[in-house]
Amino acid sequence: MPKSGLVALIGRPNVGKSTLLNRLVGQKVAIVSNKPQTTRNRIIGVQTTEECQMIFLDTPGIHRPGHLLNKRMMEEVYDSLRGVDLLVQVVDVSERYGKGEKFVLNLVQKTQKPTILALNKIDLISKGKILPVLEFYNQQFEYREMIPLSAHKGDNFELLREKISENLPEGGEWLYPSEYITDQPERFMVSEIIREKVLHHTRQELPYSTAVLVEVYDESKRQQGFMSITASIIVDKGSHKKIVIGRAGQMVKIIGTEARVDLQKFLDLPKIYLALNVKVLSGWRDKDHLLDELGVRSAKYTQELSIDDRLQTTERKMEDGSQNPEE
């Protein structure tokens, strides 16, 4: 009998949730960086087989909120836990157990949702260190499955996908067409691709105070294989602007060049004009209107619209012929 269900990937920052999501879906739907708190929005990725549709929610890493931005990120996490059928708790086995993992574990224990434990980054430690971690978590919660894996190398991720499918409810209706990959608007994905390059090339202090806003998205010549995009890289301080621009503009040039290559692949176009500006907006992480413009959902939004409501809305729009639920 066909299966379908919502699966939330949860864990502290930088444990590899986005890399795992991309592996499970088979296509890049979330940006990847070695910097913590890369994911700011809940990303939906869809994997459909002949017998099962798995709807994955990649949540922001669980951390103590400071700015309004961080509070909204945590609201995304808590909202994601309502109405899901299965949790996948992602743990970085190369890091020592600490307050962050304890907080995530407590959250899992309180929700009492069916949970699979994914012990990620086994490629970074010796095999002898995996068993003690398994034994520890086995004493903390009654997990449906406990799977050591490497999202980066792909070790055991097929086993994880198989176990996820086995633990989803039978008889559920498929909420998305079989070819559907993600619910994210194309414009949002473009901003994320650019932000990924910023994260990759800037110092450790910048990720928490950097965002990307797409201001011009000209598709008028798309049929001719060309698009024009203008985006602003938002930073919090003048000193951060200097870092992003780089000496003689070299850093922002590198960011733009690499982003353009990925955008051409993502948009499947031979030519893209990409203009990048760098703007200082002091305190943007605590300004509601800027967070709204950047697509970071507010508490009011997450409280008024549950996961099930959003998916039902998406389904209705698709039935009406809309290909993008956010448009």
Task: Give alpha helix (H) positions in 83-222.
Answer: 99-111, 130-138, 157-166, 186-201
* Sheet containing 3-10: order of strands: 43-48, 52-58, 3-10, 86-92, 115-120, 145-148
Greatest C-alpha distance within the chain: 61
Residue-wise pLDDT tens digits, 39-92: 444 567 889 988 899 988 876 544 444 444 445 555 655 565 777 899 999 999
| pTM to 2 decimal places | 0.67
**Residue-wise over 8-24: b if at least 16 C-beta within 10 A, else e?**
bbbbbbbbbbbbbbbbb
Q: Say which range, 104-108, 136-140, 271-275, 315-319, has the weakest mean pLDDT.
A: 315-319
Question: Quick check: helix, strand or coil at residue 34?
Answer: coil
pLDDT at 34: 47
Q: Tell me: pLDDT of 112 over 80.
A: yes
DSSP codes joined into one string, 257-307: HHHHHHHHHHHT-SEEEEEEEEEE-TTGGG-HHHHHHTT---HHHHHHS-H
Taking all residues of the chain, what is their mean pLDDT, rounded to a whole number? 79
310: alpha, beta or left? (left if phi > 0; alpha if psi -120 to 50): alpha
**Domains of the chain, with CATH numbers?**
3-166 (3.40.50.300), 186-293 (3.30.300.20)
pLDDT at 304: 34
Which one-letter amino acid corresponds to residue 314?
T
Q: Tell me: pLDDT of 276 over 50.
A: yes
